[in-house]
Structure 1
Amino acid sequence: MEFGDKIKELRTKNQLTQEKFAICLNVTRQAVSNWENNRNLPDLELLILISSIFHISLDELILGGTNVNNMTEKLIKDSSKTRRAKLNMITTLIGSFLLFFGVACLFIKMNSVEYIDTSGKLQENFYLLPLGFLFIFVGIIVFLVTGIRFIVEIVRTRTKGE
């Protein structure tokens, strides 16, 4: 059974009009109509509210039986997109921090004082140069890999959709 059919059946069984059901969910009547005609699907918070109104489990509401329907596919796809977005955000933050630390190392090296101590040794912060360049290089690599993965994913979803 499709999700829209399940919503309509539950609503009519509980003698609710689309208008009354929409008021219970704090949405418009058109939203309920779109769900029942399988034009749109409610978000997760509304699914939880619907299951509590009709006193059924989320499994029964979403799956409606043993077959996977469009609601289940939407939830799986949304969770996959969320995971990818979080991964992209984390890698972007890591790349940003690496670039920042690299630039900071180079800035500190530029502004540090080099001197010769009493024993005749040159005192300088030479290690900051390779460290700064390493951070910048790794940050750029992280950005490139994240960007390429993002572009590949966009191309992959567009070719699947066509």
Structure 2
Amino acid sequence: MEFGEKIKELRKNNQLTQEAFALRLGVTRQAVSNWENNRNLPDLEMLILISSMFYISLDELILGGKNRNIMAEKLIKDGSETRRAKFNMITAVIGTFLLFFGFACFFIKASSVEYIDSSGILHENFYLIPIGFLFLFSGVLVLTFSTAKFVRSHFKK
């Protein structure tokens, strides 16, 4: 059974009009009509409210039995898109920080003073150059792979 049919059946079994049902949920009658005709789907908070109103589990409401319906597919798709967006954001932040640390290493190296002490030992923070290059390379690598993955998934649609 499709989600719209399930909502309509639950509403009619409880002798509610679309107007009364919408009033109890705090939405418009048109929203209920769109749900019942599978034009739109309610958000997760509304699903929880509907399931508690009719004393039905979310599984039964969303999945409508053993077969997946449009609502289940939408929730699965939305969940994977959310995970993908979080992954892209996290990798972009990590890549940006790596680039920042790489440039910071070069800035510190350029602004630091090199000197020879009284015993003839050179004091120089030469190690900042390879560390800076490592941070820059890592940042560019992370951002490149993140962008490639985003573009690939975007064009798959």
Same fold (TM over 0.5): yes
How far has the Cα of 1:23 moved from its partner?
Answer: 2.0
Give me the whole-angstrom Cα distance separating, in 2, the residues matched to 1:132 and 1:20: 65
Q: 2:64 maps to which residue?
A: 64
Structure 1 residue 82: deviation in Å? Answer: 1.1
C-alpha distance in structure 1 between counterparts of 2:26 and 2:110, whole Å? 60
Q: Distance in 2 between matches of 1:42 and 1:119?
A: 77
User: Could you state the TM-score of these two structures normalised by the residue count of structure 1?
Assistant: 0.93
Unaligned runs of 5+ in 1: 158-162
Cα distance in structure 2, aligned partners of 1:104 and 1:74: 45
Residue of structure 1 in register with 2:132 after alignment: 132
SS of 2:90's partner is helix
2:82 equivalent to 1:79: no
Corresponding residue for residue 37 of structure 1: 37
Give the Cα–Cα distance (whole angstroms) in 2 for the partners of residues 38 and 71 of structure 1: 9
Q: Which residue of 1 aligns with 2:110?
A: 110
Please state how far the C-alpha of 1:144 moved relative to its aligned partner.
0.6
Give the corresponding residue for 1:2: 2
Partner of 1:119: 119
Q: How far apart in 2 are the matches of 1:54 and 1:62? A: 13
Q: How much does 1:128 deviate?
A: 0.6
Distance across 2 between alignment mates of 1:105 and 1:21:
63
SS at match of 1:152: helix
The aligned amino acid for 1:54 is F
Q: Which runs of 4+ in 1 moved over 6 A?
A: none
Distance, in Å, in 1 between the alignment partners of 2:144 and 2:61 is 42
Aligned residue in 2 for 1:144 = 144
Unaligned runs of 5+ in 2: none
Superposition RMSD in Å: 0.9
What TM-score, normalized by structure 2, do the two folds share? 0.96
Aligned residue for 1:68, secondary structure, equals coil
Name the CA distance, whole Å, in 1 between partners of 2:60 and 2:80: 22
Q: Counterpart of 1:22 in 2: which secondary structure? A: helix
Equivalent in the alignment of 2:25: 25
Question: Given residue 106 of structure 2, which amino acid in structure 1 is its aligned partner?
Answer: L
Percent sequence identity is 70
User: C-alpha offsets along residues 78-116 of structure 1, whole Å, 9 cap, x if unaligned?
Assistant: 111111111111111111110111111111111101111
1:117 aligned partner, one-letter code:
D
Equivalent-residue separation in structure 1 for 2:50 and 2:124 (angstroms): 68
> Deviation string for 1:93-150 (max 9, x for gaps)?
1111101111111111111011111111211111111111110111011001000000
Paired residue total: 157
For 2:14, the equivalent position in structure 1 comes to 14
1:65 aligns to what SS in structure 2? coil
